Chains A and B, each alone.
Chain A
């Protein structure tokens, strides 16, 4: 099993700043590269073409919550060489 790496960040923000954060994440997703670092330790995420995306919202009394989750899995392939398509001549 490969080692797991974690990153965590928590803050209080106004909508404008959150928009900036999301914007920067959106750009990273588009480029396929999001770098996150804390205390000099860096995690680089490479979002693939197939991303799982879920949106969860909850209102309970005074408290509201909106969670966005983007997850993916790298699809690995073995490397078995096969020569190019053979042309089978029927004549």
Chain B
């Protein structure tokens, strides 16, 4: 590791020399500097490659490297690549400089401030890395913004000068030179972000970082950001950046874990509003909102981290006793939510429309699943589009007799089960609304079906939970005299099966789900042709099991 750091220090120093030499050349155009800069460029390229090789070798050859060191190696690698890019841009600048008809021309524009910003940022890199200096890392990031602003002023000025039609070669060359300075800013931002990664162990964009700071301070956190332990990336879901944070024990007696999400304003705001609504109706069932912040076009939220396992994970891994109590908890939680939020007012549903709005996405992954019209002897096989049209017509005929507060994305992995205290929590509620409970039932059933697990004993567990949940839901429907329950569930299942294919890369399994969707729509169509009341329609239950 020391070797890598040594090389890295050299690379910083060489890049600094290159930047200084470039500035010197602009101030005192003198041929002797050209060659030095070109030669140094090769050396810098080599240094970068050496660092790259050492970083990969270190990761490759060492077992159990501590996370902190891995993060540092990754940051050094990224910073190294970007330092080399900065040096390249210096070479680009002096190349452009050669095209000036009058070397003095550039002196009518200020460029020293830009060089000062770049030199200041470069001089901080090693210190930031050695001392985990978050403020320093942010200063490096900010250099990009300041360079951008300066570039904008010069760009506007050159644009208006170009309109005179004079000095075009000098003007365009000068513009290129400033453009390269602006691009050096982009590399500095990458370096700053890489250093933040080394400090907090989390890949986070600077604007996300700023919103994190804001939501943390609104939530009453007044410590240093580096006291926050980031638990890796949880991944991006629906365009939102999600990470789990833990305040290190030293800061307070009790640790408080939370989830930070940053992304699309509408989604994050909907999530916040829904969490507040659920919090009032069912305290403790959903995460608490610690703080929320809006920026132009995006928003961020800090919510309570609820301990436990996702329900799909529990179905597969928990022992039978736990699974039984997990199911009972889930069933009783759902029963309570439905019972307490039920509004007796018939509502229309839009299951088939939900397919149509995702159709492009579905067809992208598995275009072969789109069915064209076929004839087998006298039997006509309907195309997918025709089936969706028929489904839409049928859906208009059947209304849901009441609505409940639905979760809106009732995937098994949006349900958390805390084994220790046998409690169920709901997460990811941004789509929650007053709607037909059949939507949540269908999503839950198919979210279990589509888990790509094929070992017999695990499938038997998935089939079990599907059967239990289905029979519970059907029991509720019977109690509430919901006579079109099975017909609506058939439409909703067609939707869930069909749209699930867009997440399934395994073509055979995707096809399995798609064919089940077609089958359900064909069943509905046959029933419609028989002119039988929808109350008499029965879901072919075996479609639920695999």
Q: Chain A interface (Cβ within 8 Å of chain B)?
A: 48-50, 52, 55, 73, 75-82, 85-86, 88, 90
Contact = CB atoms under 8 A, between A and B. Distances in A.
A48 B340 CA distance: 39
B459 A75 contact: yes
B124 interface: no
Contacts of B324: 80-82
Contacts of B467: 77
The main secondary structure of chain B at its interface with chain A is: helix
Q: How big is chain B's contact interface, by range?
A: 20 to 34
Interface string B517-546: 000000000000000000000001111011
List the 7 closest A-B pairs by CB distance, nearest first: A75-B545, A49-B542, A76-B460, A77-B463, A78-B460, A50-B542, A78-B464
B543 A50 contact: yes
A85 B464 CA distance: 16
5 contacts: A50-B516, A73-B546, A76-B463, A78-B320, A90-B340
A68 to B, nearest CB: 10
Contacts of B339: 90
> Which secondary structure dominates chain A's binding surface?
loop
A88 B335 contact: yes
A81 B328 CA distance: 11
A82 B461 contact: no
Nearest to A72: B542
Nearest to A90: B339
A55 B376 contact: yes
A86 B463 contact: no
B332 interface: yes
A77 B460 contact: yes
A82 B459 CA distance: 19
B542 A85 contact: no
A90 B142 CA distance: 58
B468 A82 contact: yes
Contacts of B331: 85
B338 to A, nearest CB: 12
B472 interface: yes
A80 to B, nearest CB: 5
Contacts of A90: 339-340
A80 B516 CA distance: 27
A64 to B, nearest CB: 15
